[in-house]
Amino acid sequence: MTFVFSGAGNLKRSTAFPIKVAKLYSAGWRRFQVREQDYVCTYQEITLRYDSDSSLCMDKIDGRVMGIRFPNVVFKFPGMRIRIDDDSPRSAIGFSYPPEVIELLRAWNMFPEEPFLPLPADAELKRLIGEFQKFTRIYPTLNAPGDRIDGICFDILREIMRSRLGSPVRNRTPEVRIKEAELYFQHHYDEKMDPDAVAKQFGFSHTSFYQYWRQTHRVSPHRYVDELKLRAAALALLRSSQPIADIAARFQFPGTASFHRKFRERFQATPAEVRRNRDFWEKKLPELFPE
């Protein structure tokens, strides 16, 4: 079965996560047609070819014939000329980013310079491929499907680069690792999460994490996560009829009383008051949470 979705960039989103996917596709054990001429990429595309009955994949990249063993991941850059020279059946998933995202990802060491990499054979990447495939079946039922697929694809990319570079500490400056932690917060804030555990995940001690974090952020990591939760909760109040208690639980507030207290501190209004004045708060939120 083949799934192609060119409208992923228009999916509903409730967060300000900056790495937004534009296109998606998934193909299960499909024989790809050999191209008779080159095609030129216009997007940054990442393709994971994770299963095949062939041992070697042959492609022509910018006039140069290249071969890499299956499974592999191919990074297609805007302006790259590609021709498929191998029609062996394979299973693959792929996702694309618009050009304006590319330099941001490059600055965070999230893309290699070479077009091909071996695909890591680890359990986490296998799980993420499964999550990607599941998304293609259930996304119409999700409240904010754009947030979900942005997170899945970013985690896939991060897992590939982590495997290539080894530990998150190795070959990464503290500034890059702080940015990675920030991105992690941006698409995991609605899960149970301990910022101190995230610090350790990205190679920091408690003290060094807070020191480097405060060099670029005016609030603490705990407060930063609360801000993400409060923004998402406010949007849920404005754009759904979900009960307030359910919204508090959905965004992992420790209880309804805690949610009301933090919400009132941030907005100088209660959740119910915000919901009653939808038009005003739809205009006010972008001022309170500039992207």
Domain that holds residue 27: 2-163
| Helix H or strand E encompassing 48 | strand 44-52
pTM higher than 0.85 for the full model?
Answer: no
- Long-range (24+ apart) CB contacts under 8 A made by 254-263 are 259/233, 262/226, 262/230, 263/230, 263/233, 263/234
**pLDDT value at residue 34:** 66
Verify that 67 and 8 share a domain, yes or no: yes
pLDDT at residue 96 above 60? yes
Verify that 151 and 200 share a domain, yes or no: no
pLDDT in tens, 123-137: 889 999 999 999 999
pLDDT in tens, 185-230: 887 888 888 888 888 888 899 899 999 999 989 899 999 999 999 9
How many domains are contained in the chain?
A: 3
Verify that 134 and 192 share a domain, yes or no: no
Give CA 37 to chain center in angstroms: 33
CATH code: domain of residue 11: 2.60.120
Look at residues 163, 178, 194 and tell me which one is the last residue of a structural domain: 163
**pLDDT value at residue 120:** 83
pLDDT in tens, 26-79: 998 777 666 777 888 888 899 999 888 887 877 888 888 777 888 889 898 888
Verify that 51 and 147 share a domain, yes or no: yes
**pLDDT value at residue 28:** 85
**pLDDT value at residue 168:** 45
Verify that 35 and 48 share a domain, yes or no: yes
- Rounded to whole angstroms, the Cα distance separating 64 from 59 reads 8
pLDDT in tens, 229-265: 999 999 999 988 899 999 999 898 988 999 999 999 9
Dihedral of the CA atoms 22, 65, 114, 53 (nearest 10)? 70
**pLDDT value at residue 171:** 55
Verify that 214 and 229 share a domain, yes or no: no
**pLDDT value at residue 291:** 60
Look at residues 163, 192, 208 and tell me which one is the last residue of a structural domain: 163
Verify that 48 and 188 share a domain, yes or no: no
Verify that 117 and 251 share a domain, yes or no: no
Mean pLDDT of 276-283: 92
